[in-house]
Amino acid sequence: MSVNLQLQLSIAPLSCFEAKRCLYALTREGIVTLWHEQRLLSSDTCLLNLNAECSSSESPEWISERLAAAIWKETGRFVRLTCLVDHDETEHLSTFEETDYQRLMPAFRLRMPPLRR
């Protein structure tokens, strides 16, 4: 059974171009962005913060890992990601570091993108 999930993500460091690509990758994963901001960290890097929602039957842990892999595939490299998933008034916080990148990417490397509707 699908439930509505509220998401908060912070992703950095990104170029402004990569931030736009991350938003596009999240849309392909079925994420509806409600609000986002790009905060400059330096002249060529930024932090992307966003609030979003989606309907999913996946666990908060699984959806967090799936979104991290989608972002890393889109950027082609590791970027630090914090993901807060609100599920039935229970919050699940995940912070993805470089060791998580090394662990997750082999599992998601060959995963087919979702079909467009």
Q: How many distinct structural domains can be found in the chain?
A: 1
> Domain of 102: which CATH number?
3.30.70.60
- Give strand pairing partners of 14: 46
Range of the domain at 23: 3-108
Q: Is residue 87 part of a domain?
A: yes
Confidence of residue 88 (pLDDT cuts 50, 70, 90): confident
φ/ψ region of 108 (left if φ > 0, alpha if ψ in -120 to 50, else beta) reads: alpha
Q: How many helices (H) and strands (E) does the chain have?
A: 3, 5
Q: Does the pLDDT value for residue 10 go beyond 90?
A: yes
Instruction: List residues bridging with 96 in a β-sheet.
Output: 81
pTM of the model as a whole: 0.88
Domain contains 44: yes
Residue 116 lies in a domain: no
Q: What is the mean pLDDT of residues 76-102?
A: 94
- Does a structural domain hold residue 113? no
Whether residue 114 is contained in a domain is answered as: no
In this prediction, residue 65 carries a pLDDT of 95
Rounded distance between C-alpha atoms, residue 66 and residue 112, angstroms: 12
Establish if 17 belongs to a structural domain.
Answer: yes
> How remote is the C-alpha of 6 from its chain's centroid?
12
Q: Give the per-residue pLDDT at 111.
A: 56
Continuous H helices in 2-97: 16-28, 60-75
In a domain, 8, yes or no: yes
Is 117 inside a domain boundary? no
- The 10s digit of each residue's pLDDT in 21-56 is 999 999 999 999 999 999 999 999 999 999 999 999
